[in-house]
Homo-oligomer: A and B are copies of this chain.
Amino acid sequence: MRSVEDPVESSERRTPGRPRSALAHRAILDAAIQLFVEEGFGAMSMEGVAARAGVGKTTIYRRWDSKEDLVVDAIEEIIIPVPVPDTGSLRGDLIELLVALQRSMRHSVVGQVFPRMAQEVAAGSALGVVYRERILEPRTRMVDAVLHRGIERGELPVRADIELASDLLIGPIILCKLTQRLSDRTSRQRATAIVDTVLFGLRRTQPVGDP
């Protein structure tokens, strides 16, 4: 997943010869992520990456062994760390989290990358595994963490099903992204509706009798 030889080695000894260009490194990663988003993993070509980065193919192959390796590195570059919110209440935290998720899906490269990755993740390819472990799961764990804190604070029943809650909160956002369905609500309105419904629903886990 890492480049063949790390140029930023902390590192007692320098390798002889001309060092690898940092500019080329950046240009390649930028071109790679752009083309991945525009054309998809299968349709993008190394030749295209080289051309857009203004770089020889050799320079790419010298640093990455395969298209997979390159794209994995490129994906890791665009990770934007989401800070765990702390508004004081479970409801507020979850709304912030969901708003942030919708925003990243809507605006950033992350959102463009996600649908292209669905297939990779489902297929369990090397690329998909990395994406799940480095992008998806950290975000899911963050929701879980916030929910656990809610239980500790007594804002949620001790027995509340965290996994279920997590799916109920994130699922709708993902679904909306995948189906490209447009809503007339703002991100915050949508987040608020989801969070309120789910949190209220979680107070009761017994079968729903007559209302």
Chain A residues engaging chain B, CB cutoff 8 angstroms: 40-43, 91, 114-116, 118-119, 121-124, 132, 136, 140, 154-156, 161, 163-164, 167-168, 170-180, 183, 192-208, 210-211
Contact B180 A170 (CB under 8 A): no
Chain B nearest CB from A166 CB (Å) reads: 9
Residue of B nearest to A198 (CB): B201
| Chain B residues, Cβ within 8 Å of A174 | 171, 174-175, 178
| Chain B residues, Cβ within 8 Å of A164 | 172, 193-194, 197
Q: How many angstroms between the C-alpha atoms of A192 and B197 in the bound complex?
A: 17
Q: How many angstroms between the C-alpha atoms of A200 and B163 in the bound complex?
A: 18
Residue in A132, A200, A208 whose Cβ sees the most chain B Cβ within 10 Å: A208
Q: Which of B161, B175, B176 contacts A193 (CB 8 A)?
A: B161
Q: How many angstroms between the C-alpha atoms of A161 and B210 in the bound complex?
A: 19
Q: How many angstroms between the C-alpha atoms of A180 and B122 in the bound complex?
A: 6
Q: Which of B136, B155, B183, B197 contacts A179 (CB 8 A)?
A: B136
Contact A198 B196 (CB under 8 A): no
Chain B nearest CB from A160 CB (Å) reads: 10
